[in-house]
């Protein structure tokens, strides 16, 4: 897993997201962060956390300053780390840019307005807003057992038959709840958003990301985005990025879409994306712990905090009030449900207590 997750672009076809000529500055604190957190198992330091968990990289930053940056399993700052579903948030931020540019007229439009091949499907009859909220009402099972709908979608997207991406998502075509009435996590929803974005932008998602975000961020390394057998980026997953460039993206979100002297993602879009829009999207309702925004997980509590999450331990936590972020990449054997995986939230809360004032 360590090798696969940091050399994914050598195993599966990708589109490159090219870095700019000059990276934006990330300073480094004079003293490395020191944090302790407490769980039922005891009190632990940052070093203890890394010893207890299969993290490949951990970076904490505030403002424009790195407070802590460590790698394990012989990984380095040159490695690109696979995002899994953290890529969903990138797709959502690009949707926001496309709206501002007038390429998408309204997120209340139906997906089929941009992807006519979906016109007869339930996903095509779903609004972009409901797709952003994972609220299409279309039945889709995502349990990571190798036989669920998520696995079937993956097999179809990478099959040698070159089935169109639209045909793949249209094959999930049973609506078991009205749209816009419940949260139900489904990678197919973001895959549809990726198809909408491709048509609206008039270019590959990787090119749109490169021009609208990556170069403006001042990324220090190329990123890569997995493509299916038709050449379409997998909007729901599989963007590979260095840890410090993940931090730049997170810091941009922490500054409500601004970074490197520019408003990169519209400020109101980031605010809308990180605000509970309906009772069924609230923390503790959408899921047992998190709420949900536009392809972002919302943390409970009075402080506005949100997270990008991916299976096997990928996570980015953001506190906009303190311009504080934590980037975590990992190789947990279990996709979800590791009994001690929740310690990453305990660690984050300790980071906020220490540096979020």
Which has the closest alpha carbon to 328: 61, 132, 150, 65? 61
What integer pLDDT is reported at residue 163 of this predicted model?
83
DSSP 98-154: HHHTTSSS-TTSBGGGT-GGGTTSTTTTSBHHHHHTT---B------SSSSHHHHHH
Across residues 154-165, what is the average pLDDT? 90
Task: Please name the residue that has the structure tokens 């309702």.
Answer: 285
Per-residue pLDDT tens digits for 292-350: 999 999 999 999 999 999 999 999 999 999 999 999 999 999 999 998 999 999 999 99
Q: If pLDDT is split at 50, 70 and 90, which confidence band does 162 have?
A: confident
Beta bridge partners of 127: 110
Structure tokens at 295: 């392809």
Q: If pLDDT is split at 50, 70 and 90, which confidence band does 187 have?
A: very high
Taking CA atoms, 268 is separated from 49, 125, 237, 274, in Å, by 36, 26, 25, 10
> Across all residues in the chain, what is the average pLDDT?
97
Helix 87-100 / helix 187-201 crossing angle, nearest 10 deg: 40
Across residues 212-239, what is the average pLDDT? 97
- The full length of the chain comes to 357
Q: If pLDDT is split at 50, 70 and 90, which confidence band does 45 have?
A: very high
DSSP structural state of residue 354: H
Does residue 292 contact residue 85 with C-beta atoms inside 8 Å?
no
Beta bridge partners of 330: 55
What integer pLDDT is reported at residue 27 of this predicted model?
98
CA distance 225 to 238: 6
Does residue 242 contact residue 45 with C-beta atoms inside 8 Å?
no
Task: Please name the residue that has the structure tokens 């972020």.
Answer: 325
Q: If pLDDT is split at 50, 70 and 90, which confidence band does 141 have?
A: very high
Which has the closest alpha carbon to 123: 167, 185, 183, 182? 167
What integer pLDDT is reported at residue 160 of this predicted model?
85
What is the DSSP pairing of strand 27-28 with strand 65-71? parallel
Does residue 308 contact residue 348 with C-beta atoms inside 8 Å?
no
Q: For residue 327, what is the enclosing H or E element?
A: strand 324-330
Does residue 177 contact residue 186 with C-beta atoms inside 8 Å?
no
Per-residue pLDDT tens digits for 19-37: 999 999 999 999 999 999 9
Domains of the chain by start residue, with CATH:
2-82+220-230+238-355 (3.40.710.10)
CA distance 325 to 68: 11
By percentage, how much of the chain surpasses pLDDT 70? 100
Whole-prediction pTM value? 0.97
Taking CA atoms, 183 is separated from 118, 281, 291, 292, in Å, by 22, 6, 9, 8
pLDDT for residue 145 is more than 80: yes
pLDDT for residue 91 is more than 90: yes
């Amino acid at each position: 897993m360590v090798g696969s997750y940091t050399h994914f672009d050598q195993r599966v076809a990708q589109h490159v997201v090219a870095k700019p000529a000059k990276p934006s500055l990330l300073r480094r604190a004079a003293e490395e962060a020191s944090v302790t957190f407490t769980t039922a198992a005891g009190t632990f330091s940052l070093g203890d956390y890394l010893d207890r968990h299969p993290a490949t990289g951990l970076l904490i930053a505030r403002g424009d300053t790195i407070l802590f940056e460590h790698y394990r399993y012989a990984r380095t700052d040159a490695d690109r780390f696979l995002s899994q579903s953290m890529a969903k948030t990138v797709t959502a931020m690009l949707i926001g840019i496309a709206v501002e540019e007038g390429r998408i007229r309204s997120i209340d439009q139906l997906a089929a307005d941009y992807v006519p091949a979906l016109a007869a499907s339930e996903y095509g009859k779903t609004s972009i807003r409901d797709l952003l909220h994972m609220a299409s009402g279309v039945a889709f099972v995502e349990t990571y057992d190798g036989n669920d709908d998520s696995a079937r979608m993956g097999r179809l997207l990478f099959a040698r038959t070159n089935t169109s991406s639209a045909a793949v998502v249209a094959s999930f075509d049973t609506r078991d709840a009205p749209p816009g009435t419940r949260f139900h996590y489904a990678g197919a929803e973001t895959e549809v958003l990726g198809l909408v974005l491709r048509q609206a932008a008039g270019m590959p998602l990787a090119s749109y990301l490169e021009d609208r975000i990556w170069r403006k961020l001042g990324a220090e390394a190329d990123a890569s985005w997995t493509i299916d057998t038709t050449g379409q980026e997998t909007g729901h997953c599989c963007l590979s990025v260095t840890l410090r460039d993940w931090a730049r993206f997170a810091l941009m979100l922490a500054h409500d879409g601004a970074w490197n002297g520019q408003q990169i993602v519209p400020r109101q879009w980031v605010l809308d994306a990180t605000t509970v829009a309906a009772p069924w999207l609230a923390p503790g309702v959408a899921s047992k712990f998190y709420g949900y925004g536009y392809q972002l997980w919302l943390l409970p509590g009075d402080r506005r905090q949100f997270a990008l999450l991916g299976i096997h331990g990928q996570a980015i936590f953001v506190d906009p009030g303190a311009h504080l972020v934590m980037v975590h990449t990992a190789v947990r054997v279990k996709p979800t449900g590791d009994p001690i995986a929740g310690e990453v939230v305990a660690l984050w809360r300790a980071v906020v207590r220490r540096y979020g004032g």
